[in-house]
Amino acid sequence: MNKTSKVEVNQDGTQRGLTNLAVQMIAFGGSIGTGLFLGAGSTIHRTGPSILLVYAVIGSFFFLMMRAIGEMLYADPNQHTFVAFIHRYLGSGLGKFAEWSYWLELILAAMAELTAIAAYFQLWFPNLPAWLIQLVFLVALTLINLAVVSFFGKAEIILSGIKIITILGLIVVGGWLILTHHQGISGDRAAVSNLTANFSVFPNGIAQFIFAFPMVFFAFQGMEFVGITTAETKQPRKILPRAINQIIGRILFFYIGSLAVIMMVSPWQRISASQSPFVQIFELAGIPAAAMLINLVVIVAAASTLNSAIFSTGRHLYQLALESHSAHMKPLRKISTSGIPIVSVLVSATLMLGSPILSLFNQLTSAFTFVASVSGDIYILVCILTMVAHWKFRHSPASRQIAFRMPAYRITEPLTICFLLVYFLVKHHAGRQLGRLFGRWVLVVI
């Protein structure tokens, strides 16, 4: 124990400086991003009020996956990444594939956030080069990550806090518009009945409902960052269960609550698919410069996700270095005097420079679409392997006497794995008939 700072220092030199609030905010930072603030109109336009069902279903499966990850980390809280359990329980071959693939997925996801930051920042400064914007944000957030882990946690609390305040602001403002029956978009009055009138699960057909799943699934990515903070969290066996049990409910509240309010303020058919619903609601309330406000929040949201990604990639690469016997990986094990795996963080951040380089040769939208698509495929495969590893874990001696368990894992785990497999097939448009077949199967399973 470090008596001066009262922060527990691990044997490898890393420090347990993250609080319960910081851990939850890191999860918020990873999972509540630009998709909600900008993409909500598109998801609502696709399938109407039943989009709330899509969020609830996917959120439930993410909760089950987080409980599986939490159980393994509860048994061994010294791991710097949950992906290490794939190596332990499924063998070195799949383990190395998953570990390197997930690290690459995080790099690509960070690059996607950098391209998004540049695109939104250029709305204010259109003549500023995208590569320069990306470089400034990347350097600034990397420096935050090189400070003590508690400082990183405080930075993430601030960044994620801005997003949460904005969502709560929308819910409060929208609630006021509903209570006063404010005249909304296209002359419609705000009312709860806008959400329930002429309700249909498939207003635009079952295909649109099914293909809303990939859009919503992408929004939940990053929640698993909780499973990369454990080795640097204070009292992990106390904080980890609390953080996992609380985070899913709060994220679902923010997602479902904000979308429900949006569709109460105006019938979902009137909501623009091309403009942020947050902007539309704040403009209805007479808030000046609503578009500028949301653009600022979107930049903060992307920066928050990028901040968490830099943290995660550094710890993940450090874990890979610990498991490797290669002399080339040994420098990546270096820990700074402030308890940070400094070389692993710097190497990961350096690879993210691919984003500003990419922006020199492609349009920002093309770059964002490319990196998001590739990272999404890797992510799903790692999720499936993680669940299989947990199944093996539950049949090993290490799972005995564990107080934090995945509920009814013999049923919920195969169900989650099947859901992830079906989602992967649907995401890749595996033929129209196959998509319909698996889509119906998803509904039956749900």
What is the mean pLDDT of the segment spanning 385-404? Answer: 90
Question: Tokens 């996992």 — which residue?
Answer: 244
- Residue 190 DSSP class: P
Please give the full DSSP string across 140-175, using - where no structure is assigned. HHHHHHHS-HHHHHHHHHHHHHHHHHHHHHHHHHHH
Q: What per-residue confidence (pLDDT) applies to 252? A: 86
Mean pLDDT of all residues in 62-75: 93
pLDDT digits (tens, 9 = 90+) for 288-300: 788 888 889 989 9
pLDDT at 438 > cutoff 50: no
For 234-253, the pLDDT digits (tens) are: 888 888 888 888 888 888 88
Q: Going from the N-terminus, what domains does the chain have, and what CATH number goes with each?
A: 17-445 (1.20.1740.10)
Mean pLDDT of 228-233: 86
Query: Phi and psi (nearest 5°) for 15?
Result: -120, 145
What's residue 373's pLDDT?
62
State the residue for tokens 């992906």.
83
Mean pLDDT of 72-85: 90
Q: Which residue shows structure tokens 């391209």?
A: 115
Q: For 327-372, how does the pLDDT look when each residue is reduced to its tens digit (9 = 90+)?
A: 999 999 999 999 999 999 999 999 999 889 888 775 555 555 555 5
Element (H, E) at 250: helix 236-265
Phi, psi of 278 (to 5 degrees): -60, -40
Instruction: Note the pLDDT tens digit of each residue in 92-145.
Output: 889 888 989 889 888 988 888 898 899 889 889 999 999 999 999 999 999 999
- The pLDDT of residue 386 is 95
